[in-house]
Amino acid sequence: MKILITGFEPFGDYKVNPSAIVAERVAKDVLAEDINIDTFYAILPVSFKRARELLEKLFNEYKPDIHIALGLRPGASFIAVERVAINIMDSRIPDNDGYQPIDEPIDPQGPPAYFSTLPIKAIVRKLRESGIPATISNSAGTYLCNYIMYLSLHNSARFGIPKRAGFIHIPLPPEDAVNRRDLSIGIPPSMSIDLAVKAIKIAVKTAVEYFNKPDERVPP
Ligand code: PCA
């Protein structure tokens, strides 16, 4: 079973992107711990053009069975397992190449939306059982994260690679959250990298466990 785990480079005024650190650590840990799982990680640029090119290259060369894409969701205090990707790019800020699409479809010929093909409810349940704050999210936004989730599911629907795909947002790490506000103002929510790594490892193992249970894609 081949699993691609992607994170993102920093963007906007976020100096680090925890999704890149977590993608690398999870891929290496799972590879070392489980002989049945082959993992590969990649850090995607926060660029609509370059991220798409790299994603297509990864799909063509690595041919993952499962793609778990990670990104930063500033302001969240929980792991957000995304349910849906929508066919729109509507950017509040330019990407790292200065490109800022507004109200543009990702693919004018593509369907309006795709649902995650990861076992999102099983993942959230297992995370909560492990004491990790987690929820299903019904919007991955309209920026790079939604874009990558849409492209992955679009490739999956058309070409069968990957067979299953989805997106998980993680919070700011505390090391970054503490620097983001004036000393007299409360700081934004955060989650340690260690806890986020633990969470995404659980998500990877749950995705593998449910890989061959298509009817239990969204178990109760
Ligand atoms: N978060 C952004 C893009 C890259 C990232 O880590 C998003 O939620 O779209």
Can you give the residue range of the structural domain that contains 163?
Answer: 2-209
pLDDT tens for the chain, 220 residues long, are 999 999 999 999 898 999 999 999 999 999 999 888 999 999 999 999 999 999 999 999 999 999 999 999 999 999 999 999 999 999 999 999 999 999 999 999 999 999 999 999 999 999 999 999 999 999 999 999 999 999 999 999 999 999 999 999 999 999 999 887 777 778 899 999 999 999 999 999 999 999 987 655 554 4
Give a yes or no: residue 164 inside a domain. Answer: yes
Per the structure, the count of domains in the chain is 1
Distance (angstroms) between ligand 1 centre and the Cα of 137 equals 14
Distances (CA, A) of 140 to 117, 214, 216: 15, 23, 22
- CATH number where 187 lies: 3.40.630.20
pTM here? 0.96
The residue type found at 13 is D
Residues pairing with 44 in the sheet: 8
pLDDT for position 179: 84
Give a yes or no: residue 219 inside a domain. Answer: no
Q: Is 67 a catalytic residue?
A: no
- 3-state SS, residue 172: coil
Taking each helix axis as running N to C, give the angle between helix 193-209 and helix 18-33, from 0 to 180 degrees, rounded to the nearest 10.
Answer: 50
Q: Is 145 a catalytic residue?
A: yes
Q: Is the CB of 147 under 6 A from ligand 1?
A: no
Q: Is the CB of 8 under 6 A from ligand 1?
A: yes
Give a yes or no: residue 166 inside a domain. Answer: yes
